Amino acid sequence: MKNNSTARNTSGVTKLLRIALYSVLLIMAFFYLMPLIIMLLTSLKDAEEVRNGTLLSLPGSLNFDSWSKAWSGACTGSTCTGISPYFLNSFKIVIPAVAISTLLGAINGYVISLWKFRGSNLFFAALLLGCFIPFQVVLLPMAQTLGWLGIASSTTGLIFVHVVYGVAFTTLFFRNFYQSIPGELVKAARLDGAGFFTIFYRIILPVSTPIIVVTVIWQFTQIWNDFLFGVAFSGFDSQPVTVALNNLVNTSFGGKEYNVDMAAAIIAALPTIVVYVFAGKYFVRGLTAGAVKG
């Protein structure tokens, strides 16, 4: 009887602790999501409700006019109030920049970790140093380089900028991951007559899925959310969505339309939210897989 009573008490304490833990987590999640909740509620109200209500007041009726205006808007002269063309610009920049920087990072990491050469450690140190260079430091030399190449104020120029700045990070990710691959595997393939690219495509890449996912998510998020490079190196036709969002929020005709601003901000954030929702668990797995050695 005493043992049964002790077991019941222990079970009751465990349940209380579990309830307390989940309660704390729910409260923390609510406060963490508070800005997003406020943005969503505000975007579903009309301008009158926004002015007269409170931040957390529910909309009287669902109003999606602000979403339509944030997306489509209108263009007057050199100023567009909608973010749809710039949303497409961001995809034109992100997709090739992520693909190129990921491929270059994979090759660099493969060479540095599995094909040692004289000066490879110095080369890696230089790339690692590049990870800590502030964005502001490279603005002037990068602007001069884009001018020399004839790709200033263009989508191609922004792709080039993000590839150059992203290669250091992608190389670091792949190098650390490839350190866990036995060097004997590469040596055996070389004895069988496999060359550099054959080993890379047939042996290394097939086992690189976890770190490729990590790199793609990292690069996608960094490039999509970038504002500094976008505002410094883009022209009117090549501005990314972050620059367009800034222009929309800081440009007012008549009264300030906070509902439109909030709707535009949510639309601009949707791609990164979707990426993390559907690929977040693979991001954690890839980081763990790359933390074995190196």
Output the pTM of the full model: 0.82
Q: Which residues of 124-155 are buried (b: 16+ CB within 10 A; e: fewer)?
A: beebeebeeeeeeebeeebbebbeeeebbbbb
Q: How many CA atoms lie within 13 A of 206 on its CB side?
A: 5
DSSP secondary structure letter of residue 225: T
133-163 pLDDT, tens digit each: 888 888 888 999 999 999 988 999 999 999 9
The confidence score (pLDDT) of residue 90 equals: 93
For residue 79, the surrounding DSSP H or E stretch is strand 79-80
Nearest to 87 by CA among 273, 216, 265, 274: 265
Residues of the chain with pLDDT under 70: 1-13, 74-81, 252-255, 280, 283-294
- Contact between 279 and 264 under an 8 Å Cβ cutoff? The reply is no
Using DSSP, state whether 82 is helix, strand or coil: coil
Using DSSP, state whether 240 is helix, strand or coil: coil
Tally Cβ neighbours within 10 Å of residue 42: 24
Enumerate the domain spans of the chain: 2-64, 75-289
The confidence score (pLDDT) of residue 103 equals: 94
Cα distances (Å, whole numbers) of residue 115 to 81, 179, 195: 52, 11, 12
- Contact between 49 and 60 under an 8 Å Cβ cutoff? The reply is yes
The confidence score (pLDDT) of residue 30 equals: 87
Nearest to 49 by CA among 60, 40, 65: 60
263 alpha-carbon distance from chain centroid: 20
Which CATH number is 75-289's, of 1.10.10.10, 2.40.50.140, 3.40.50.300, 1.10.3720.10? 1.10.3720.10
Q: Could you write out the DSSP letters of every residue in 100-164? A: HHHHHHHHHHHHHHHS--TTHHHHHHHHHHHTTS-GGGGHHHHHHHHHHHT-TTSHHHHHHHHHH
DSSP secondary structure letter of residue 31: H
